[in-house]
Amino acid sequence: MTAFLPAVSGALIVTGLIGMVYALIPAPPKPPRPARTVTPLGRAGGWFARLNPRTRMLVIGGAVAGLLVALLTGWVIAIVLVPAAIVGIPLLLTPPPAAASVEKLEALEEWTRSLSGKLTAGQSLRSALVKSLQSVPAPIEREVGLMVSRLWNNTATTEDVLRAFAEDLNDSTGDVVASQLILAASGRGQAGLAKALDALAETVAAEVRARRQIAADQAKPRTTARTVTVITLGVLGLLALTGDYIEPYGSPLGQVILAVLLSAYVAALLWMRRMAVAKPLPRFLDLQARNAHRAAHGEKQGALA
């Protein structure tokens, strides 16, 4: 019992510091939800349910392994440390999803050039959009497929369909392409649309090259951190087999100190990951932001009235 409380305190320090660092990561604004009473147990269950099946299995397996280590060695901190290491270290060292956005931009460039060719051949904008599905690149096949299905349903105007297409792409460059198509659909830019799309394709190609260079530069510190982490874990594993090196950390105070050191290391990895993630450029066809602005403006007008 004497060693239990300090070990639990060390585990709570690890959890608290990780939570503090994670709280510093800005999150996108979420729409307001209706107020409801949720118990702490319900929040924990909801968090666990939102995890993908693989992560849930890792959490369960890590918790079982941590419990076994705690029972065999007396290190109570292992109950938190082992599952956190199994789930957290691969997550922290994996690159952020920047490659997917670059592939989507490349696909958008190819699709824009194909659309320009169809318009040059004399097809109407609506017909060119529908036929573009036949040769659409895979990264944006879903978005173009949804756009074509909306055009086939004839339940919305072409402008509304293109705005929904921009919302599906969810990218500032996609907004530029969609806005040019919206102008053409409204009759204000049909004449020079093919040339404008060719120019946009060149702009997108330049942005793809720039993003690939940025991604390559961001990969260097991640590679260094991954190498240092693997070497550190390997050395600590070898030293743990001797027993003499890690013996001081088996005491209650040692487990608290170990928790603080590991928390500092995790905080450094989180800081590095945050610096390596580039903030997306703001969109100007963002329907959610525009609706939120209209709602706020309406509430302000109502309060003034």
pLDDT in tens, the chain (305 residues): 455 555 555 555 656 555 555 555 555 544 445 444 444 444 544 555 666 677 777 778 777 887 887 787 777 777 877 777 777 777 666 666 665 678 888 999 999 999 888 888 888 888 889 999 988 999 999 999 999 999 888 778 888 999 999 999 888 888 888 988 888 887 765 667 888 888 888 888 888 888 888 877 877 777 777 787 788 778 777 776 766 777 777 788 888 887 888 788 778 877 877 776 667 677 877 665 455 444 444 544 444 44
Side chain identity, residue 67:
L
What b/e sequence results for 138-174 when a residue is b if at least 16 CB atoms lie within 10 Å of its CB, and e otherwise? ebbeebbeebbebbeeeeeebeebbbbbbbbbbbbbb
Query: How far, in Å, are 16, 55, 81, 238, 298 from residue 303 at the CA level?
Result: 41, 47, 52, 68, 9
Model pLDDT, residue 140:
92
Apex 190 CA angle, 184 and 191, nearest 5: 155
Model pLDDT, residue 217:
80
| Residue 191 burial (CB count, 10 A) | 10
Name the token pair of 30.
């979420």
Please report where in the chains the tokens 């743990």 appear, as a residue. Answer: 240
> Where do the structural domains in the chain lie, given as residue ranges?
49-94, 98-186
* Angle in degrees, 0-180, between the axes of helices 193-242 and 252-276, rounded to the nearest 10: 160
Model pLDDT, residue 148:
92
* CA distance linking residue 97 with residue 259, whole number of Å: 30
Name the token pair of 196.
């404008």
Model pLDDT, residue 147:
92
Best CA proximity match to 91, nearest among 51, 43, 46: 51
pTM of the entire structure?
A: 0.58
